[in-house]
């Protein structure tokens, strides 16, 4: 009685929405903000509420690809407002903007109080307009890490750590009061490369000398919109209302009409087309996205980094691609800092088996490091953006102990054991000498196995891999030089290679089938999967609350809860030690 009316209403709304045609001429308005997640879940947000958040990176890439060949699109307007994402995603999006411009479409950037990342994207456009009354803040790049060892020690909490090897600095916020020389070296090298790209690209596109741009960043920093124009960083200043009216008047030669529908939003544009690409052959390419921390099971967290992608989701994606006879090749798109070491190894085993049956090409997005790099080893060819963050071949484990806290609060504990080591891994005491040695050696075995996997996949000696490993982080450009990846390029380069390897006619456009396929709220309700519904609601609510309470704080504080909430000896993780975000 409840489901049938809801399903009927949903069908009517869908038919009404899908039946709306687009104008013969329009400006495609594309909002750009936030972290640019690799792929937005199809059922994101809470049930019976509108989806929140900006478009995903894949949404943006495919939207611009469609617009490039759509004769109805007069121009593309990028409404840029506070992008905070990885250098590689900015770089790949810039190249997508350049391809759109090369197709003959004019691309205009409208910036609201822009910062460095907004300026980096705006520079790729034909013209840049800054909102009237706003400011441009160009203060350069900054890397910041919080260290919790001292405040935790004050409340009686500490950690024992196993680190393989020196550059695997993910343990440092929990066991040190400041960065090690290796951690400082890694961050400095990454920032140098990203900063060179920033200065070089923006100065070239805005016809400034690199020294002039550095001087603006170092000595001016904060400027009004007219000052940004005077300094050559923008082409004009206007309010949003006036800018839209003037653009419509200039492109149509008529007075603006609010009812004309001349500006079409990216969400409506997407809903009107065959997504993600219009196919003209029955052949398919499976696009499998591995996004987020790698975990063993749904709902599990990898050191507080979020729910991530689990082994079962990857297995379902692979099975779906292999069972579909029309799928001729697969692209594995990775945007993951790694995670659980055992889960990463299991994913690699599944992907290796799949790659024997059908060609598999890997495309690295913002980050494909540590466990994410392990998964990439399955590819016949690995593509990375020049600023993709990869490598970090190493592992670490953290074992918490709260004996100091127990003593402070006067907590009593009685324990009865059978077996000498039954209580060795308790969080209520530190590991003793023998137990700690075994703890470190177990992590070392995982590291040696990781090095062996890389050596076999990349056809290197273990010694050579070890010289590149030890937790060292590489950009895609440097990874190509040392042999950790095969080619420089983005998602569409990998799709083209998969088309070639799959024997699909190069003059045709195969259908792109996206995995994993997430069930909608209605599907879960019809199946009676109330556990999945509850988990999704909990995740959505937690994301909203944390996003509002701690918008500028990274994942480390949240990591304390899973580490302290179980009686275990610590997980062996292969995770990136840091995030590199441009804002």
Question: For residues 282 and 576, which has the higher predicted lDDT (pLDDT)?
Answer: 282
Reported confidence tier of residue 300, pLDDT bands at 50, 70, 90: low
User: Coil, helix or strand for 290?
Assistant: strand
Q: How far apart are CA 362 and CA 381, in angstroms?
A: 6
- Residue 125 DSSP one-character state: S
* pLDDT higher than 80, residue 465: yes
Q: How many angstroms from the chain centroid is the CA of residue 406?
A: 39
Reported confidence tier of residue 296, pLDDT bands at 50, 70, 90: confident
Largest CA distance in the chain: 87
Under a CB-based contact definition with an 8 Å cutoff, are residues 231 and 421 in contact?
A: no
Structure tokens, 362: 């890997």
Strands (E), 448-571: 473-475, 487-488, 511-515
Structure tokens, 45: 């947000």
Q: How far apart are CA 164 and CA 370, in angstroms?
A: 12
Q: How far apart are CA 64 and CA 116, in angstroms?
A: 22
Q: Count the Cβ atoms, other than its own, within 10 Å of residue 160.
A: 20
Q: Is 277 domain-assigned?
A: no
Q: Is 110 domain-assigned?
A: yes
Range of the domain at 32: 25-139+221-271
Q: What is the CA radius of gyration of the chain?
A: 25
Range 336-346 average pLDDT: 93
Q: Is 32 domain-assigned?
A: yes
Write out the H or E segment, with its range, that includes residue 10: helix 3-18
Q: What is the mean pLDDT of the chain?
A: 88
Residues designated as active site: 168, 370
Crossing angle between the packed helical segments 57-68 and 491-501, to the nearest 10 degrees: 70
Q: What is the DSSP string of 249-280?
A: HHHHSS---TTS--EEEHHHHHHTS-SS---S
Q: Is 278 domain-assigned?
A: no
* Residues 62-79 as b or e (16 or more Cβ within 10 Å = b): bbbbbbbebeebbbbbbb
Under a CB-based contact definition with an 8 Å cutoff, are residues 30 and 63 in contact?
A: yes
Q: Is 212 domain-assigned?
A: no
Q: Is 413 domain-assigned?
A: no
Question: Which pLDDT does position 159 carry in this prediction?
Answer: 93
Integer CA distances (angstroms), 122 to 161, 201, 231, 249, 419, in order = 44, 11, 15, 23, 65
Structure tokens, 282: 């029955």
What's the number of domains the chain is made of? 1
Write out pLDDT tens, residues 310-331. Answer: 999 999 999 999 999 999 999 9
Reported confidence tier of residue 144, pLDDT bands at 50, 70, 90: confident
The CATH number of the domain holding residue 124 is 3.90.226.10
Q: Is 525 domain-assigned?
A: no
Question: Which pLDDT does position 526 carry in this prediction?
Answer: 66
Reported confidence tier of residue 422, pLDDT bands at 50, 70, 90: confident
Q: How far apart are CA 193 and CA 204, in angstroms?
A: 16
Compute the half-sphere exposure of residue 354: CA atoms within 13 Å on the CB side of its CA: 33
Reported confidence tier of residue 423, pLDDT bands at 50, 70, 90: confident
Write out the H or E segment, with its range, that includes residue 104: none
Question: Which pLDDT does position 403 carry in this prediction?
Answer: 92
Q: Is 490 domain-assigned?
A: no
Closest CA to 501 of 361, 384, 391, 393: 361
Reported confidence tier of residue 552, pLDDT bands at 50, 70, 90: very low
Q: Count the Cβ atoms, other than its own, within 10 Å of residue 278.
A: 12
Q: Count the Cβ atoms, other than its own, within 10 Å of residue 329.
A: 24
Q: Where are the alpha helices (DSSP H) in 69-216?
A: 87-102, 116-122, 149-154, 172-175, 181-205, 210-215
Write out pLDDT tens, residues 150-178. Answer: 999 999 999 999 999 999 998 999 999 99
Range 189-217 average pLDDT: 97
Q: In degrees rounded to 5, what are phi and psi of residue 423?
A: -110, 15
Reported confidence tier of residue 531, pLDDT bands at 50, 70, 90: low
Write out pLDDT tens, residues 62-85. Answer: 999 999 999 999 999 999 999 999
Structure tokens, 22: 């687009």
Q: How many angstroms from the chain centroid is the CA of residue 163?
A: 25
């Amino acid at each position: 009685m409840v489901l049938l009316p809801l399903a009927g209403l949903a069908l009517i709304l869908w038919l009404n929405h899908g039946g709306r045609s687009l104008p013969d001429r329009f400006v495609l308005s594309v909002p750009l903000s936030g972290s640019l997640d690799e792929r937005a879940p199809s059922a994101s947000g809470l049930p019976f509420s509108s989806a929140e958040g900006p478009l995903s990176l894949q949404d943006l890439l495919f939207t611009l690809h469609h617009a490039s060949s759509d004769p109805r699109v007069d121009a593309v307007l990028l409404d840029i407002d506070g992008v905070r994402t990885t250098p590689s995603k900015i770089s790949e999006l810039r190249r997508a903007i350049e391809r759109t411009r090369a197709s003959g479409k004019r691309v205009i950037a409208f910036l609201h109080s822009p910062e460095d990342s907004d300026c980096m994207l705006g520079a790729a456009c034909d013209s840049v307009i800054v909102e009237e009354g706003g400011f441009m803040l160009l203060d350069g790049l900054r890397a910041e890490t919080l260290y919790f060892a001292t405040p935790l020690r004050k409340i009686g909490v500490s950690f024992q750590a196993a680190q393989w090897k020196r550059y695997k600095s993910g343990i440092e916020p929990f066991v040190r009061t400041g960065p090690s020389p290796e951690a400082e070296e890694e961050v400095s090298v990454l920032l140098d490369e990203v900063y060179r790209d920033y200065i070089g690209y923006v100065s070239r596109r805005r016809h400034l000398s690199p020294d002039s741009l550095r001087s603006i960043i170092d000595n001016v920093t904060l400027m009004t919109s007219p000052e940004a124009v005077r300094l050559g960083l923008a082409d004009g200043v206007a309010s949003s209302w006036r800018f839209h009216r003037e653009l419509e008047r200039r492109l149509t030669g008529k007075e603006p009409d609010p009812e004309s529908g001349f500006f079409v939003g990216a969400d409506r544009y997407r809903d009107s087309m065959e997504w993600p690409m219009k196919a003209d052959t029955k052949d398919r390419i499976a696009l499998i996205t591995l996004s987020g921390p790698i975990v063993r099971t749904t709902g599990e967290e990898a050191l507080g980094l979020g729910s991530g992608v689990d082994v079962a989701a990857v297995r379902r994606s692979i099975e779906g691609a292999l069972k579909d006879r029309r799928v001729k090749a697969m692209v594995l798109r990775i945007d993951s800092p790694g995670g659980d070491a055992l889960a990463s190894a299991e994913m690699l085993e599944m992907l290796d088996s799949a790659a024997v049956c059908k060609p598999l090409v890997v495309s690295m997005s913002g980050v494909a490091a540590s466990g994410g790099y392990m998964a990439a080893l399955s590819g016949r060819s690995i593509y990375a953006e020049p600023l993709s963050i990869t490598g970090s071949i190493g592992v670490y484990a953290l074992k918490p102990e709260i004996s100091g806290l127990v003593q402070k609060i006067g907590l009593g504990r009685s324990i009865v054991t059978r077996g000498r080591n039954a209580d060795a891994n308790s969080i209520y005491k530190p590991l003793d000498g023998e137990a700690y040695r075994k703890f470190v050696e177990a992590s070392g075995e995982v590291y040696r196995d990781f090095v062996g996997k890389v050596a076999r996949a990349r056809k290197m000696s273990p010694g050579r891999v070890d010289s590149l490993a030890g937790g060292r982080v590489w950009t895609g450009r440097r990874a190509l030089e040392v042999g950790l990846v095969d080619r420089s390029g983005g998602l569409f380069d990998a799709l083209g290679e998969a088309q070639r390897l799959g024997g699909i006619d190069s003059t045709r456009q195969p259908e792109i089938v996206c995995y994993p396929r997430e069930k909608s709220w209605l599907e879960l309700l019809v199946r009676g999967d109330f556990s999945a519904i509850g988990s999704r609601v909990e995740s959505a609510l937690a994301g909203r609350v944390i996003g509002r309470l701690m918008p500028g704080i990274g994942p480390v504080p949240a990591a304390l809860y899973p580490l302290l909430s179980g009686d275990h000896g610590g997980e062996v993780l292969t995770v990136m030690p840091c995030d590199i975000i441009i804002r």
